[in-house]
Chain A
C-alpha cells in the first residue's frame, strides 16, 4: 500500500480511486436496462492503464451510493462530465470528486471545472517521466489551482524536493519508500536558484556578494 504523506508526515487518505467507465455512454445506457448486472463487453481505455470493469456493470462511480471522496481518472471526468456534475449536484456536498491526471493530459482541459474538484492528483508512471512537473506548475500558476495537489505513482524520496517546488503538497510514496527518510528529503537543499511555485528566484532574496575561496 502506498503511503500518503505531506511534508510534515503521514496523511490519512480517504480518497478512493473510481473504476473507469466501461464502454461508451450509449452502451452504458443500454446496459442500464440489463437486469443481470453483468459488465458489458468492452473494456474502457483509460490512460492509467488498468481499466477495471465496474462490478455494478454500468455506473462506475457516478452512483449516489459509494465512497464520499472519489478520485476519478481525468479522461473519465471528461468522458462522463455530465454524469459527474449530476452526481455532485445531487449529492449536495456528501460526495467530493478529485481527478487524477496522466502525464499526457492537458491541464487546460480541466481549467473550467477546477471549482468542482476537491483534489487533483498527477500520476508519474515512472519517475523519469517528468511531464507531471510541468502539469503541476501550470495548474498552480496558470490555472490558479489552490487545493491539494498530489503526486502519485513512482514517487521516491529523491524527487520530493523538486515535486514540492513545482506545487505538489501531497505525495503517495511508492511502497518501498521509508517515510521518515522521505520527510527528511524535503530539506535536501536549503535554497533554490530559480523561480517556481514555492518561491521566487534566488536573485530576489540574495544578500551581499561575499566571495568563497578555497
Chain B
C-alpha cells in the first residue's frame, strides 16, 4: 500500500475544495450544465439514468482496510447500501445525491482516496495485475511504476482535455493479467539481458466500438525515460487525435490512420526533444516511492502446509475452492486468495456495506490489512498463510465471497447495463443472472473448465465482451433489446477479439444459446483439458455457428 506524504494529501484536499466550489457554482446557477459537465467528470461524477453515479479511484486496485471501511460507510450513508467494483479497478456508487458529493469526496480524502480523473477526456486510473508484488511469475514489480504514473497523470496540465478518455495498464509478470494489449497504452515491465528494468510500450489497443489489439512501438524503453516517453505519446495524441467525431476519437484510430510505424516515428520525433529532460525519472524517486509502500512482514514458513493438505483431502468443496480461487505466491507458505463477487443472482461486482465491513476485518486478520480489486470485478487477499486458508474459506462462505467459479463460466464480467446506465442498449445484469441460474451445477462448470463470459450492455464494451471466450453484447434492434454473441476472444498474452457467430438473439434465448455452444465444445474438444477458447481457435466458428442456429425448428 502506498502511504501518502503530506504533499499527496494536500493535493487531494485542494481538489476537494476546488470541486466543492464548482458544485456550489453549478447549483447556484453560476456555472452552466455544459461547463460543469467536463469538470464533474474529472471528479468521477456522472449524471446517470436514475441518479448521479460516482466512480471512486482505487489506484492500481490497491486498498487498505481503513479505506474499505470508509467505502462501507459511504455505501451506507450516501447510497443504497452497496457499491459496484468496475472493470478498471474502481468502485462505483450508483445513488449519491449530487449536492452530497463534495462531502463524500472530503470523507474519502481522510483515508487518502479520491475520484480524480476517473472519468472525462483525461488520463484515467492506471490499472495493473491483481497479483502485483506477489505473483510467482513476476519479472518486475509494477506497483512502484504504477504509482509513478499515477502521480505523473494527476492534474497533468497539458492533457486534461484530450480528444477522448485515455487508459493505461501496466503488467510486470510473464502472464499478462492486466490486459495491457487492449489499452490505449499498455506497458509491460521486464528486464533486459543486462538486468536493467525497462518497458515494452504498446499503443492503440482498446475495446468498444472498434476493438483493437495494441501495437508495440518500443520494445524496450529504459525505466528512467518512462514519463518523458508517455508525455511524447500523449502530446501526439492531444494534438492530432480526432475531435470531430466522438466515435473516432480514441488513440487507436490515430494509430491506425497513421499506421503504427508512422505513429511510432512521430512519437520518437517528439520524444527526441523531451528525452533526458526535466521529466526523466531519477533513481532517488524510484527508491522514495518504493520506500513509501508498506510491505507485509512475512514470516519464515515452510513451502508446504500439512494443515492445508489435510483439510483439502477431507473436504471436496474446500478442495474445489482451493483449485479455483487460490493462487501461487512468491513467498513460501503464502497464497493469494480471490474473493469472488460472482454469486448467482447478485450483479457481478456488487458488494454490500456489510460485506465491505466484513472484508475489511478479514483483510486485517488474514491479509496484513491490504486488499486488491481485480479488473474482473473480484477482490484479492494477496498474502494469506497456507495454514489459515481453510479457516478463511469458512469465513468467506457465509459472506457469499467463496463461490468457486473463478475462471469458470459463471465468473461473469458484466457492466451495469441498461438497469443503470443511460448509454446501454440492453440490460446485462438479468442476462448474467439467467446464465448463472441455468449453470448452477458446479460439477458441470468444472467439467467445462476455463471459460470467460463477458457481457456488455452496449457497444462501449465496458463489460469487455470483445475479449470474452464468449462475449454477449446488448444491441438495440427496432427499439427492442437483442443480444449479439461472439466467441473466441481472449485477454492476456495473445489477446484476440471475439467473432460474431450470427444474428442476434432475444434475451430469453441466451441461456439456450450458451448450452448449444457448450454442447458443441464438448463434442469437438480433443480432451477434457482443451479449453473452449482453444477449440474455437482450432476449428473456427463455423461448427459453433451451425450448432447454435441449425437447431430443429
Q: Chain A residues in contact with chain B, CB under 8 A?
A: 127-131, 133-135, 137, 141-142, 156, 158-159, 161-163, 165-166, 188-196, 200-204, 206, 208-214
Say whether A166 contacts B161, CB under 8 Å: no
| CB-based contact A158/B39 at 8 Å | yes
Residues in B428-479 with C-beta less than 8 Å from chain A: none
Q: Answer yes or no: B291 CB below 8 A from chain A CBs.
A: yes
A130 touches B160 (CB 8 A): yes
Cβ B157 vs Cβ A166 within 8 A: yes
Please determine whether A209 and B5 come into contact, CB atoms closer than 8 angstroms: yes
Contact between chains at B292 and A211 (CB < 8 Å): yes
List the 6 closest pairs (A to B, CB-CB), nearest first: A130-B161, A162-B157, A165-B157, A203-B285, A195-B278, A211-B3
| Chain B positions 256 through 288: 1 when the CB is less than 8 Å from some CB of chain A, otherwise 0 | 000000000000000001000111011011001
Picked from B39, B111, B157, B288, the residue with its CB within 8 Å of the CB of A206 is B288
From residue 139 to 154 of chain B, which have CB atoms closer than 8 A to chain A? 151-152, 154
Decide: B285 and A212 in contact? CB cutoff 8 A: no
Task: Say yes or no for B188: interface residue by CB 8 A criterion.
Answer: no
Given contacts A130-B162, A190-B10, A214-B66, contact A201 B155 (CB under 8 A): no
Shortest distance between the CB of B241 and any CB in chain A (Å): 9
| CA distance in complex: A211, B112 (Å) | 11
With a cutoff of 8 Å between Cβ atoms, the chain B residues found around residue A204 in the complex are: 278, 282
Verify B14–A190 contact, CB threshold 8 A: yes
Q: How far is the CA of A134 from the CA of B238 in the complex (A)?
A: 7
In the assembled complex, which residues on chain A have CB atoms less than 8 Å from the CB atom of B112?
212, 214
CA distance A161 to B158 in the complex (A): 11
Complex Cα gap A59–B545 (Å): 70
Which of A130, A142, A161, A208 gathers the greatest number of chain B CB atoms within 10 Å?
A130
Q: Can you sample 22 A-B contacts with CB below 8 Å? A: A129-B243, A131-B238, A131-B239, A133-B158, A135-B239, A159-B160, A162-B157, A166-B158, A189-B11, A189-B155, A190-B11, A191-B10, A193-B11, A193-B152, A194-B151, A194-B279, A200-B278, A201-B279, A203-B284, A206-B7, A212-B3, A214-B66
Question: A44 CA to B330 CA in the complex, in Å?
Answer: 68
- Sample of 4 further A-B pairs with CB below 8 A, known A134-B158, A212-B8, A214-B66: A128-B38, A163-B157, A194-B227, A212-B4
CB distance from B360 to the nearest CB of A (A): 13
Instruction: Indicate whether A202 sits within 8 Å of B7 (C-beta atoms), given known contacts A128-B38, A134-B235, A193-B152.
Output: yes
Would B5 and A133 count as touching, CB distance under 8 A?
A: no
In the bound complex, CA of A128 to CA of B246 (Å) = 13
Measured between beta carbons, the chain B residues less than 8 angstroms from A189 are 11, 14-15, 18, 155
Smallest beta-carbon distance B429→chain A, Å: 32
Q: Are B14's CB and A213's CB within 8 A? A: no
Contacts A128-B121, A131-B238, A214-B112; A196 near B7 (Cβ below 8 A) = no
- Interface membership of B156, Cβ < 8 A: yes
Once bound together, how far apart are the Cα atoms of A188 and B281, in whole Å?
A: 26
**Max chain A C-beta neighbours (<10 A), residue from B66, B154, B161, B288:** B161
Max chain A C-beta neighbours (<10 A), residue from B38, B112, B238 = B238
CB nearest to A161 among chain B residues: B157
Decide: A193 and B238 in contact? CB cutoff 8 A.
Answer: no
In the complex, which residues of chain A have a beta carbon less than 8 angstroms from the beta carbon of B154?
193
Q: Is the CB of A129 within 8 A of B161?
A: yes
Determine whether the beta carbon of B292 is less than 8 Å from that of A209. Answer: yes
The smallest C-beta distance from A129 to any residue of chain B, in angstroms, reads: 6
Contact A203 B281 (CB under 8 A): yes
